[in-house]
């Protein structure tokens, strides 16, 4: 198991292109007995109009129908991933609230599957899914493969977000100076500019200058929005 992990880890972490990373994930999934796999990610920003980006090797016809029917809004696996960290095995009961969706998926060969949500320290939400057309997932098979699948989910998330978040959230590339970090941290605590001035022994003008820099770097509309973004992106630690 350890040798298997090391081989896959090195291969995935050496890639710097999300499409090549996904191709390698799909190959690993095939070797684990699954025809298809998918990875979806929702970055921490923006807070409104949040977007989910998906990669999969599902049948082309299903991909087209999924997009046309906006199935993303009703897909039970996606909805599950938004509210739970637990893995789920596809069953009729699980899809009972979306029967037409489930029936269409099965018609396209997506009959048996397993999905695992994951979330990192910066609030980036991801989900890795494996599926196949034939052979129901037995309890024995899941017992044998669950550790590899859970490990693969984490590596998929680390590998994909390492590349994707920098592209999807430019603010993730921002680096704050020590002074900028301090003033925006106090701002996040609800302190006013004059209070921060007294706490840090700086002039109000200097504090305002540093706050302005943070607002600009994080592409925020004001200092409150900048403090929220800095906190979400882990820039206050």
Q: Whats the size of the chain, residue-wise?
A: 237
CATH 3.30.450.80 residue spans of the chain: 2-170
Rounded-to-integer distance, Cα 212 and Cα 17, Å: 34
pLDDT digits (tens, 9 = 90+) for 169-193: 888 888 999 999 999 999 999 999 9
Interior angle at CA 128, CA 125 and CA 134, nearest 5: 155
Count of beta carbons in the 10 Å neighbourhood of residue 198: 12
For 2-170, CATH gives 3.30.450.80
Residue 223: both structure tokens together: 């200092």
Q: How confident is the model at residue 1 (pLDDT cuts 50, 70, 90)?
A: low
Q: What is the pLDDT of residues 79-137, one digit of tens each?
A: 999 899 999 999 999 999 999 999 999 999 999 999 999 988 778 899 999 999 999 99
Instruction: Tell me the pLDDT tens digit for each residue of 200-225.
Output: 999 999 999 999 999 999 999 999 99
174-232 maps to which CATH number? 1.10.10.10
As annotated, the residues of the chain forming the CATH 1.10.10.10 domain(s) are 174-232
CB 149 within 8 Å of CB 116 = yes
The number of angstroms, rounded, from the C-alpha of 197 to the middle of its chain's C-alpha atoms is: 38
Closest CA to 104 of 128, 76, 79: 76
Q: What band does 4 get if pLDDT is binned at 50, 70 and 90? A: low
- The total of other beta-carbon atoms located within 10 Å of residue 53's CB is 15
Phi, psi of 101 (to 5 degrees): -60, -45
Per-residue pLDDT tens for 22-77?
Answer: 999 999 999 999 999 999 999 888 877 778 899 999 999 999 999 999 999 999 99
Structure tokens at 234: 């882990």
DSSP state of 170: G
What crossing angle do the helices spanning 178-188 and 204-217 adopt, rounded to 10°?
Answer: 90
Q: What is the pLDDT of residue 3?
A: 58
DSSP 221: S
> Of 219, 190, 214, which Cα lies nearest the Cα of 45?
219
pTM above 0.75, yes or no: yes
Band (pLDDT 50/70/90 cuts) for residue 139 is very high
């Amino acid at each position: 198991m350890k040798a298997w992990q090391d081989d896959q880890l090195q291969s995935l972490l050496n890639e710097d292109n999300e499409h090549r990373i996904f191709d390698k994930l799909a190959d690993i999934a095939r070797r684990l007995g699954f025809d298809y796999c998918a990875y979806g990610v929702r970055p921490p920003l923006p807070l409104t109009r949040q977007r989910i980006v998906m990669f999969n090797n599902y049948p082309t016809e299903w991909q087209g129908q999924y997009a046309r029917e906006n199935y993303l809004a009703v897909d039970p696996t996606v909805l599950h991933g938004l509210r739970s960290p637990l893995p789920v095995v596809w069953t009729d009961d699980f899809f009972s609230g979306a029967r037409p969706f489930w029936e269409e998926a099965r018609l396209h060969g997506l009959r048996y599957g397993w999905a695992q949500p994951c979330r990192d320290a910066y609030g980036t939400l991801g989900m890795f899914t494996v599926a196949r057309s034939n052979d129901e997932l037995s309890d024995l098979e899941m017992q044998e493969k669950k550790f590899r699948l859970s490990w693969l989910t984490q590596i998929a998330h680390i590998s994909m977000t390492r590349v994707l978040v920098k592209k999807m959230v430019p603010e993730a590339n921002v680096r704050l100076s020590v002074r900028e970090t301090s003033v925006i941290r106090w701002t996040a605590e609800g302190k006013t500019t004059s209070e921060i001035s007294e706490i840090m022994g700086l002039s109000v003008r200097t504090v305002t200058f540093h706050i302005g820099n943070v607002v600009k770097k994080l592409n925020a509309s004001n200092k409150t929005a900048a403090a929220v973004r800095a906190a979400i992106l882990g820039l206050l630690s």
